[in-house]
Structure 1
Amino acid sequence: MTLNVLFIDSYDSFTYNLVSLIKKTRPDIHVTVIHNDTFGDIQDLLSYFCAFDCIVVGPGPGNPVNGPKDIGILDQLYKHDVPIPILGICLGYQAMCRAARAEVKELEVIRHGQVFEIEIDKPNHELFQDYPVSFKSVRYHSLHVISHQQEIIPLCHTIDGDHTVLMGAQIAGKPWYGVQYHPESCCSELGGLLIKNFITICESYNQSSKRLQSPFSLITDSSIKSKLVSYLDCKIDKHNIYDKPKPAEVEIQIEEFRVTKSPSLTLGICNKLSQHFFLMSSASIHANRGELSIIALPNEHSTVFTHYDQIHTTTIHQWRNPTLTRTKFKAALEAGKSIDGLEVVRQKKPDFYTTIGNFMKDKIIANNPELPFIGGLVGTLGYEMGQYTTSSELDPLKPDAKLVFIENCIVVDHKKEVLYLISLAKNFPDDVKSLVTDVISKEEQSFVRSVNLPEGIHFDIEFPTKDKYFSAFRESQKYLHQGDSYEVCLTTQTEVSPSKRLEPWVIFQTLITRNPAPFSSYFEFSDIEEGHSDLCLLSTSPERFLKWSDDTCELRPIKGTVKKSPNMDLQKATNILKTPKEFGENLMILDLIRNDLYELLDNVTVDELMSVEEYETVYQLVSVVKGHQLRESVYSGLDLLYHSLPPGSMTGAPKKTTVELLQHVIERSLNGHIYKSGGRGLYSGVTGYLSCNDHGDWSVNIRCMYSYDNANTWRLGAGGAVTVLSTPDGEWEEMQTKLESALQVFM
């Protein structure tokens, strides 16, 4: 018989870590997740309780004192006095105790992403059966419970400076329990044992007279129970973008050449090309990152997908279709009507992902699984293409996404020292092949790049002001202390206007010379007419967002930065990056990413926990999270991509609430000189590919610059994670360090 758990989520970014912890307790457990506002009145939910063995009320942003605005129906749930076992975590625990007349107040010192020793008050208590007298767990909270009421039985606590903070309690006379700490964090001990003990309590209590004789006694009719559970299971939409077809074996053209490991090889080839190209290049080569360079060659068969979220429209056309001009394109877009050579589709961004998913699913092939890219969609997705973000008509119309289908490509595996010429249509251009073999034979991979832009050009640079930044910092701290967020990734926008237009390729070569990175990207989208682009991205990103093969996916969140200098070496940087502030920044995003994967996959692992990596200008703290058994899942890599956007390392946590606060409140005034809406454009989005052999690799758009006006004006974003341990001067300095890595080409 299945044991059914009802999980009430408060829009937290750690929810599915908890759900996974519950599922792993026993194979016969089924967890149904609803939001705290799925039902407006507890009476509408009561009739389903007879199908559930217990309820788990999860963590989340907000304060129980604010009532339904922050906690939905939780207060009604606890005041209704249902005889069902309940376990409350963090916010769920606070709401439970407040309903029992306890006070919920702000901590004297806020704790987000920090590990503390938890001490058991009642070692023989059933919730802490088989526990040692103390254990370590992670705290994510700005509020805490203060209680002297007899209704609240203390179960555990922690010592915080001179204070004792209640960490767990039971409501007297009820099977209701709660803990303030987060048992699901990857740095918490014995979280699975807590859940196991709670399930044991549930099974025992459900056989007692209090449950059996109540209106909420468990029903025995399995068909009725299944219908009730299934109905609630559908309350949160988790449908996949497309049904994965069985890939077919398709013959494609592949030629291999031995090359040296030099990362400048791809630049030498690109400088010889007479046709348009996109480049995803490893300008610095490292193990597990920066091992691959791709030169993508669009042609007349390349389908171009562009999405404008402001007007909920997608356009589809062929690369440089001779019947399509910029004037015709603009008129059709404004009218919202298709014309010859251009399909205009009114659709919101979730449907854009369906459109590209349906386009790609018929092109997935089974052969060449060892190659990372064999052709497919390449391009960029802006910040506003993620969940919880919005585009506004307050800003000039801009493309939020551009993806181009590529038949022909040059792939360089720097690790294996092999170059591949690949054609899906078996028509790789002979002139390009001749050019490539010539470059290889003459060893022109030693090509020397320019490190300076042409002289005689000056740049008008509009920076964010320090006063506005400090004001946004104080605003962020307010929400952190109120419990609305655990971490706020505060970002700025800078605009650069050259006195004379510079070719993006010249700027890009200068940029990667000054700041070589494992995920460099050159995308100039002149897809309608040669010589004019409505979107251009130049990136030297150090951060992989998401990589997948047909069975495994990987994310490498970066959080925690130290500037390189003559007085800063790896050991000193490591000591700084392992302090509570930097540790907490990375841990919060690490747990958030685990949550994003767990919502779609059952098997998620942390393969690297906070390693320090060295880059050209900075040291950074990096973790590696992997999802497994993707082949067996109904979800594709595209599902994982859309579901995880925007990148958690660029938002903070909890993602939904923090994104909304950033866009509509905190960054709107800070970056109003660039985006009146508080948006970010391409910055904080992702760039990469969807390969026809069911591989993908996407980097985060940081240390980058981008343009919407044919490279006449450039925008650069920079920022960092603000936590309760941050200082305004420290965050301002970190933001400047990151900005300089790209801005230095203009200085």
Structure 2
Amino acid sequence: MVLNVLFVDFYDSFTYNLVSLIRDQGQHVTIIHFDSYGEDIERFWKDLQCFDCIVLGPGPGNPENGFPDVGFMEQLFVRQVDLPVLGVCLGFQLMCKSVGCTIEQLPSIKHGQVYDVKLSSGAETAGSLFEGYPSSFKSVRYHSLHVNCKNSDVSRIVPLAFTDDEGGTVLMSVQVANKPWFGVQYHPESCCSELGGKLIENFLKITERHKQARVRASESSDLSTAQGVIRNLDQTIDKSSIYQKQDLQAQNIQIEEIPIEPCTLLALQICNLLTEPFFLMSSSTIHENRGEFSIIALPNERSTVYTHYDQVHRTLVHQWRDQRITLEGFASAAETGLSCDGVDIINQSKHEFWKTLGTFMQPKMMANNPDIPFIGGLVGVLGYEMGQFTVHDREGKLVPDAKMVYVENSVVVDYQKGVLMLISLNNKFPENARSAVMKIVQGSKPGTRLPQLPDGVEYDITMPTKESYVRAYNKSQSYLNKGDSYEVCLTTQTRVVPSKRIEPWRIFQTLICRNPAPFSSFFEFTDIKPGHSDLCLLSTSPERFLKWDADTCELRPIKGTVKKDGNTTRELATKILKTPKEFGENLMILDLIRNDLYELLDVVTVDELMSVEEYATVYQLVSVVKGHGLRQAPYSGIDLLQHSLPPGSMTGAPKRKTVELLHDEIEKELNSHISPTSARGVYSGVTGYMSCNDRGDWSVNIRCMFSYDNARTWRLGAGGAVTVLSTLEGEWQEMLTKLESALQVFQN
């Protein structure tokens, strides 16, 4: 029997993990947001008759706040809905409040912590929600609030489970007496929760029995009407793909392979000899599954450039260094939208920008060389404000939020295989670039002298004040305690102004040698005029955001940091990183990422759970999440990229609510010394490529610096995850540690 399940989403970042447990049972799930019906409760009540049960998901907020946080969902219980209901976390609290319980602050808040859940006597009997359960099992808690039923009519509440907390016993599950209404405070969908699938299986069995017992005279005659209602509601949340995938054909492209001795300085040496512009995505450390390749992308006059300004909802499209375009004309076109020779101006939202990229890339996709990471395609930078829920306010200077360049010629260095490849989509790899490559490959071994910045340059460095950081930290803790967020990724920005301009390439070489990382990037966008860039990014990022091929994708979230010094061993770092605070930080983002993938894919796995990785200046806690079945899905890699931005490791959870709090309240004053808005810009965005052979790889823009004014001024971002287990001094020092990894190049 296939059941029709209505899932009510409170804009949580764990929703689709729970939905996946239901779909794994072969049931049809229709998802709506709690405010999808506005205030039209009568239409909602009518549509409910088409479903067999209701699941009220988790989410931020407090049922005591009423309509702003939960809409009219409490009316499900006030009006005595004749359907089985399962409430999880917020949904559980909402159900309990409706029958007289009070919702109170939890004495000891739990976000991302694993606890033993113990069943009440008789809770595991046949036909119950916990049928087949042991008397105790482990599950993950994400809650600042809890249900107090001591002052309610306890005859209406049947306690099913509890946990022992520092403040005493905390209710973990109940049933409303004489009703098929159940709830759990813990999160059965977390990857560290036990028996989550069993809970859903038992609830669906209860639903089946309830459905068989229901007698509705109109049931058979209204079947077609019910199916129509469900089909319409299934479209409530847009899940359309950016473009329709087609069967790919192989194309004739030029690939020349040259054996090499693997060395991470090889790509740098090649770039030093190039006379044409280049972008570099370089691994300066070699590891299995990260840092296997370096890619040099070579734009030319055939390269199409896409620049999006979300402040004015506008995209400019032109060819690389089109001689008809002037710097003044391009800037005016971006600001005003008025015509400019050589530039196509598209007035569009960032959502439509993704459609523009997809329309451009679709006919260029091919079935060539699926084992090569990049054969040509779009490369570039996507800022934080290109993500979902983010806003780039109009105040302040107009700056690009995205720059993507189509590249036909590239050099790919495979360190694992010891091979360098010269690749050309148009079968015309530039001879001068090939000559530069051969000089390095056939020349002497790389030198060991580290590059330095020029002497005699002074640097005006402006950091956020400790006082402003304290205020932002305290605001974060306030929202965490109220249940509006589980984790707040609080970030700062620092400005560096050299007394004279230094070439970005020289700064990058210094940075990459002092802070080697698997996902280093050099992007100087001189797409209008040589020697002038409206965006330049220098990154030594340790964090992969998203990699994909035709069938799978991978994310490697980093949360949890320990600074390396003379006394820090890997063993000690591991001990620190496995404490409840660091564990909780990583788990929350890990579950958030699973949710983002489950929204588009059916199979998601956690292939590494909180491994400790060593970098030049820090130890980090890293997990690996993979999505499978992309080949059969209607979605492509660009859908996954758009849908998952901004990176959860740079926002916190739940993503939507936390992003809003960061923008509206927390970071505005903290970074006012940089900008009058809360925009992060390039920092916290991603950098990488979409290759024509249906592959992509993107890193998170951290441990980086960027400039919007031709490298006269640099901005550096740094931050960390604030949780209820954080300390002010600990977070401040972690922020400084991360800032130092990039700032060090200006301080010696």
Asked if Structure 1 and Structure 2 have the same fold, meaning a TM-score greater than 0.5 normalized by the shorter chain, the answer is yes
Aligned partners of 1:507 and 1:65: how far apart in 2? 54
Residue in 2 that maps onto 1:324: 325
Residue in 2 that maps onto 1:212: 215
Question: What amino acid is aligned across from residue 79 of structure 2 in structure 1?
Answer: H
Q: Deviations 1:27-68 (Å, cap 9, x if unpaired)?
A: 2x1000000000123212111122211000000000000001
Residue in 1 that maps onto 2:191: 186
Are 1:156 and 2:146 matched, yes or no?
no
Residue in 2 that maps onto 1:390: 391
Q: Deviations 1:355-390 (Å, cap 9, x if unpaired)?
A: 000000110001111110000000000000000001
Are 1:32 and 2:30 matched, yes or no?
yes
Q: Deviations 1:200-240 (Å, cap 9, x if unpaired)?
A: 111111222xx425x9x855654322211111111111111
Q: Deviations 1:603-633 (Å, cap 9, x if unpaired)?
A: 1000000000000000000000000010111
Shift of residue 449, structure 1, vs aligned partner = 5.2
Q: Deviations 1:498-556 (Å, cap 9, x if unpaired)?
A: 00000000000000111000000000001001111000000000000000001100000
The 3-state SS of whatever aligns with 1:310 is coil
Aligned partners of 2:325 and 2:167: how far apart in 1? 72
The 3-state SS of whatever aligns with 2:129 is helix
Q: Deviations 1:247-268 (Å, cap 9, x if unpaired)?
A: 1211000000011111000011
Residue in 2 that maps onto 1:65: 64
Aligned partners of 2:591 and 2:334: how far apart in 1? 41
Q: Deviations 1:418-444 (Å, cap 9, x if unpaired)?
A: 000000000001121122112101144
Q: Deviations 1:700-727 (Å, cap 9, x if unpaired)?
A: 0000000000000000000000000000
Aligned partners of 1:77 and 1:679: how far apart in 2? 40
Question: What amino acid is aligned across from residue 115 of structure 1 in structure 2?
Answer: V
Q: How does 1:137-152 map to 2 (within 5 A)?
A: 137-148=139-150, 149=153, 150-152=155-157
Aligned partners of 2:257 and 2:350: how far apart in 1? 39
The 3-state SS of whatever aligns with 2:412 is strand
Residue in 1 that maps onto 2:233: 232
Residue in 1 that maps onto 2:203: 198
Aligned partners of 2:124 and 2:135: how far apart in 1? 10
Question: What amino acid is aligned across from residue 67 of structure 1 in structure 2?
Answer: G
Check whether the contact 2:309–2:315 (CA below 8 A) recurs between aligned residues: yes
Residue in 2 that maps onto 1:642: 642
Check whether the contact 2:77–2:98 (CA below 8 A) recurs between aligned residues: yes
Residue in 1 that maps onto 2:174: 169
Report the TM-score when normalising by structure 2: 0.98
Percent identity of the aligned residues?
62
Aligned length: 740
Are 1:570 and 2:575 matched, yes or no?
no
Question: What amino acid is aligned across from residue 549 of structure 1 in structure 2?
Answer: D
Residue in 2 that maps onto 1:135: 137
Q: Deviations 1:71-120 (Å, cap 9, x if unpaired)?
A: 11212222111110000000000000000010100100000000000000
Aligned partners of 2:419 and 2:444: how far apart in 1? 14
Shift of residue 452, structure 1, vs aligned partner = 2.3
Q: How does 1:45-56 map to 2 (within 5 A)?
A: 45-56=44-55
Q: Which runs of 5+ in 2 are unaligned?
A: none
Aligned partners of 1:273 and 1:557: how far apart in 2? 34
Question: What amino acid is aligned across from residue 117 of structure 2 in structure 1?
Answer: I
Change (3 A) 1:152 1:218: farther
Check whether the contact 1:490–1:720 (CA below 8 A) recurs between aligned residues: yes
Residue in 2 that maps onto 1:75: 74
Q: How does 1:306-705 map to 2 (within 5 A)?
A: 306-444=307-445, 446-448=446-448, 450-705=450-705
Question: What amino acid is aligned across from residue 243 of structure 1 in structure 2?
Answer: Q
Aligned partners of 1:328 and 1:550: how far apart in 2? 40
Shift of residue 679, structure 1, vs aligned partner = 1.1
Aligned partners of 1:597 and 1:199: how far apart in 2? 24
Residue in 1 that maps onto 2:107: 108
Residue in 1 that maps onto 2:274: 273
Aligned partners of 1:287 and 1:100: how far apart in 2? 55
Check whether the contact 1:41–1:73 (CA below 8 A) recurs between aligned residues: no
Residue in 2 that maps onto 1:719: 719
Check whether the contact 1:664–1:677 (CA below 8 A) recurs between aligned residues: no
Check whether the contact 1:502–1:711 (CA below 8 A) recurs between aligned residues: yes
Check whether the contact 1:293–1:412 (CA below 8 A) recurs between aligned residues: yes
Q: Deviations 1:320-378 (Å, cap 9, x if unpaired)?
A: 00111112212322331333311011000000000000000110001111110000000
Aligned partners of 2:396 and 2:75: how far apart in 1? 42
Aligned partners of 1:246 and 1:694: how far apart in 2? 12
Q: Deviations 1:649-708 (Å, cap 9, x if unpaired)?
A: 000000000000001110001111112221100000000000000000000000000000
Question: What amino acid is aligned across from residue 181 of structure 2 in structure 1?
Answer: W
Question: What amino acid is aligned across from residue 85 of structure 1 in structure 2?
Answer: P
The 3-state SS of whatever aligns with 2:229 is helix
Check whether the contact 2:108–2:166 (CA below 8 A) recurs between aligned residues: no
Aligned partners of 1:540 and 1:141: how far apart in 2? 36
Question: What amino acid is aligned across from residue 176 of structure 1 in structure 2?
Answer: W
Aligned partners of 1:559 and 1:624: how far apart in 2? 12
Aligned partners of 1:272 and 1:289: how far apart in 2? 27
The 3-state SS of whatever aligns with 1:51 is coil
Aligned partners of 2:331 and 2:518: how far apart in 1? 36
The 3-state SS of whatever aligns with 2:241 is coil
Report the TM-score when normalising by structure 1: 0.98
Check whether the contact 2:108–2:167 (CA below 8 A) recurs between aligned residues: no
RMSD: 1.1
Aligned partners of 1:450 and 1:616: how far apart in 2? 15
The 3-state SS of whatever aligns with 1:47 is helix
Tell me whether 131-140 or 433-442 shows the greater mean CA deviation.
433-442
Check whether the contact 1:267–1:447 (CA below 8 A) recurs between aligned residues: no
Q: Deviations 1:291-336 (Å, cap 9, x if unpaired)?
A: 1100000000000000000000000000000111112212322331
Question: What amino acid is aligned across from residue 564 of structure 1 in structure 2?
Answer: K
Aligned partners of 2:254 and 2:124: how far apart in 1? 68
Aligned partners of 2:716 and 2:468: how far apart in 1? 17
Aligned partners of 2:124 and 2:708: how far apart in 1? 65
Residue in 2 that maps onto 1:41: 40
Aligned partners of 2:106 and 2:293: how far apart in 1? 48
The 3-state SS of whatever aligns with 2:339 is coil
Check whether the contact 1:68–1:75 (CA below 8 A) recurs between aligned residues: no
